[in-house]
Amino acid sequence: MSHAAATLMRAARPMVVAGTLGLLLLVLAALSAVPAIVSLVLGDTGLEWRLFGVAALELLLGTLLVRLPRPDDIQWNEALAVTGLAFLLAAGAMVWPLMGNEIGALDAWFEAVSGVTTTGLTTLRDMAERPAGFLFLRAWMQWYGGLGIAVLTVALIMRHHASGRRLLETTGESLTHASARDHARRVLLVYLGLTGLAVFGVWMSGLAPFQALLHGLAAVATGGFAASDRNIAPLPPVSVAVLSAICLAAAVSLPLYAQLWRKGPRALLGEPDVRALIASAVVTAALLALIGVTLDGVAWPRALADGLVQSISAQTDTGFSTVDIAALPAASQLVLIVSMTIGGCTGSTAGGIKLIRLLILIRLVQLALRRTAVSERAVLGANVGTARIEPDAVAAALQLLGLWALVLILSWFVFLLHGVAPLASLFEVASATANAGLSAGLTGPDLAPLLKVVLSVDMLLGRVEILALLVLLYYPTWFGRRRAS
């Protein structure tokens, strides 16, 4: 780094980070009170008082911290640090309440991380025998985890990040603090609306109201927790179809829904990454069906139906499943690994590397081929849809792809050191990092403790696209010159 650049660097202001976290703690206190009340009403023992205790602590801490100054000009490292810490805090706060359901500390941590990151992997069994309040808490963690992703990213990161700013600009607004706040409010309304539709739709499909609530919350957050050890396999086919539709809707950039009344279906179907989402899900389903028919002798209609459910679940990184993934042919598991890792659309609760990066990659390859046929002095540009691919977006895509590969390889390496089956290991690691939640059978009570830790770290890293957690470990984030706060 040059000296000139070094003098431009500003460490994060601890007071600003703490103050913003204080506001967040107040929100978390309100969010923690909901399952506490539900548990109280449904008559659980142990869970509700722990939840009230956590809510009270969050309220106390939040009230203290929120008095700290929160200037309008929050720095990017501060925004990223708050995002990283928010997920750590939200998960950490639920460990002790979850332990009230006779769960060890590590499994409670795993479940909490899996919940707030909307991953949906679980090391717990006998889910059908667990109390209703506990099941609600799991669904609720996913729901507000999804809310966090949808709203926090807009409110904190987008106005600091060039590509995020462009997302705001597509709605025709200028980039003021107020407009980012409006935008976050609009996303919140979309999320609430989708949630209402989801729960109502699942209820109409024939599930009991409480089951509809559990699955509707898990679907709209692309979370994937279910109320059975066989995931959603026991649900009637109509409910499975409705849930799949909700997952697909939730994997689309949420701000687009705010344009539906003005632009009509074009608001969604005109977007390249929405089309890519549908195309990827269809290709994945076709591959799964083809493998099922040829290698496993499944009949075509069944193979197509199963293929579509699993492919939508993988592509949207929801993690619902109606078949035993561990029993699928190795080739099908590889297809799912790729689908989960690519993931859904930016601005949604879906995980993975995101389809926009795949589109950028495809355009760059097309551009490279086209360039072979023109004089190198001719300047060619590439677009995704109507948006020009800027050098910054290319660098960001390469950096994310590289970091993602590094996380997968390192995590896989630890699994292999433990002597676990290679493909199932890669599947589990890819699923956790993409916040997908499908499991090839390794994630369960018997998974080695270190591997549970690895998967929980993967879930957190994937959820914040790695950078927000790296920022927490980056020395200049905390040490160096800072502005007066």
- Cα torsion for 327, 131, 245, 189, to the nearest 10°? -140
Which two tokens mark 304?
Answer: 């197509």
Neighbours of 237 (CB within 10 A): 12
Amino acid at 186: R
**Secondary structure (DSSP) of 224-280:** ---SSTTTTTTS-HHHHHHHHHHHHHHTS-GGGGGGHHHHTTHHHHTSHHHHHHHHH
Site string for K ion, 96-135 (x = CB under 5 A): ------------------------x---------------
Smallest gap, in angstroms, from Cβ of residue 215 to its own copies? Answer: 32
Q: Quick one: which of 105, 128, 162, 260 contacts its own copies (CB under 8 A)? A: 162
Cα-atom radius of gyration of the chain, to the nearest Å? 22
Q: Quick one: which of 260, 299, 368, 450 contacts its own copies (CB under 8 A)? A: 368
- Angle 406-147-85 from CA coordinates, rounded to 5°: 50
Q: Quick one: which of 3, 265, 372, 484 contacts its own copies (CB under 8 A)? A: 372
C-alpha distance from residue 48 to each of 28, 115, 226 (Å): 16, 18, 21
Handedness of CA 392, 397, 400, 403 (dihedral sign): negative
Smallest gap, in angstroms, from Cβ of residue 10 to its own copies? Answer: 6
Q: Quick one: which of 96, 131, 160, 210 contacts its own copies (CB under 8 A)? A: 160
Nearer to its own copies, 122 or 431 (CB): 431
Contact flag: residue 412 with its own copies (CB under 8 A): yes
Q: Quick one: which of 146, 148, 347, 437 contacts K ion (CB under 5 A)? A: 437
Contact flag: residue 369 with its own copies (CB under 8 A): yes
Please check whether residue 94 is in contact with residue 141, taking contact to mean a CB–CB distance below 8 angstroms. yes
- Binders of its own copies in range 80-99 (CB under 8 A): 80
Residue 467 site contact among its own copies, K ion, none (CB < 5 to 8 Å, cut-off depends on kind): its own copies
Please check whether residue 255 is in contact with residue 314, taking contact to mean a CB–CB distance below 8 angstroms. no
Q: Quick one: which of 20, 32, 39, 77 contacts its own copies (CB under 8 A)? A: 77
Smallest gap, in angstroms, from Cβ of residue 241 to its own copies? Answer: 28
- Binders of its own copies in range 182-241 (CB under 8 A): none
Contact flag: residue 422 with its own copies (CB under 8 A): yes
Smallest gap, in angstroms, from Cβ of residue 176 to its own copies? Answer: 16
Which two tokens mark 74?
Answer: 């929050």
Gap between the Cα atoms of 80 and 20, Å rounded: 12
Residue 237 site contact among its own copies, K ion, none (CB < 5 to 8 Å, cut-off depends on kind): none
> By CB under 5 A, which span of 69-77, 260-268, 304-312, 317-325 interacts with K ion?
317-325
Residue 399 site contact among its own copies, K ion, none (CB < 5 to 8 Å, cut-off depends on kind): its own copies
Residue 120 site contact among its own copies, K ion, none (CB < 5 to 8 Å, cut-off depends on kind): K ion
Q: Quick one: which of 395, 441, 445, 449 contacts its own copies (CB under 8 A)? A: 395
Residue 413 site contact among its own copies, K ion, none (CB < 5 to 8 Å, cut-off depends on kind): its own copies
Residues 6+ apart with CB under 8 A from 453: 106
Q: Quick one: which of 46, 53, 329, 444 contacts its own copies (CB under 8 A)? A: 329
Q: Quick one: which of 319, 343, 347, 352 contacts K ion (CB under 5 A)? A: 319
User: Measuring CA to CA, which residue among 188, 129, 179, 189 is closest to residue 158?
Assistant: 179
Contact flag: residue 291 with its own copies (CB under 8 A): yes
Residue 42 site contact among K ion, its own copies, none (CB < 5 to 8 Å, cut-off depends on kind): none
φ, ψ (nearest 5 deg) of residue 133:
-60, -35
**Total number of residues binding its own copies (CB under 8 A)?**
62
Nearer to its own copies, 200 or 479 (CB): 479
Amino acid at 346: T
Nearer to its own copies, 282 or 403 (CB): 403
Gap between the Cα atoms of 226 and 202, Å rounded: 13
Site string for its own copies, 454-483 (x = CB under 8 A): -------------x--xx--x-xx--x---
Backbone torsion region of residue 125, taken as left when φ is above 0, otherwise alpha when ψ lies between -120 and 50, otherwise beta: beta
Residues 6+ apart with CB under 8 A from 375: none
Q: Quick one: which of 133, 148, 224, 343 contacts K ion (CB under 5 A)? A: 224
Residues 6+ apart with CB under 8 A from 270: 263, 385
Please check whether residue 422 is in contact with residue 448, taking contact to mean a CB–CB distance below 8 angstroms. no
User: Measuring CA to CA, which residue among 110, 113, 111, 107 is closest to residue 90?
Assistant: 113
**Secondary structure (DSSP) of 124-178:** ---GGGS-HHHHHHHHHHHHHHHHHHHHHIIIIIGGGSHHHHHHHHTTT----HH
Contact flag: residue 370 with its own copies (CB under 8 A): yes
Residue 369 site contact among K ion, its own copies, none (CB < 5 to 8 Å, cut-off depends on kind): its own copies
- Cα torsion for 459, 70, 95, 115, to the nearest 10°? -40
Q: Which residues pair with 383 in a beta bridge?
A: 388
Please check whether residue 433 is in contact with residue 458, taking contact to mean a CB–CB distance below 8 angstroms. yes
Smallest gap, in angstroms, from Cβ of residue 446 to its own copies? Answer: 19
Residues that bind its own copies (CB under 8 A): 1, 5, 8-12, 75-77, 80, 160, 162, 291, 295, 329-331, 334-335, 338, 360-361, 364-365, 367-376, 378, 380, 391, 394-399, 401-403, 409, 412-413, 416-417, 419, 422-423, 467, 470-471, 474, 476-477, 480
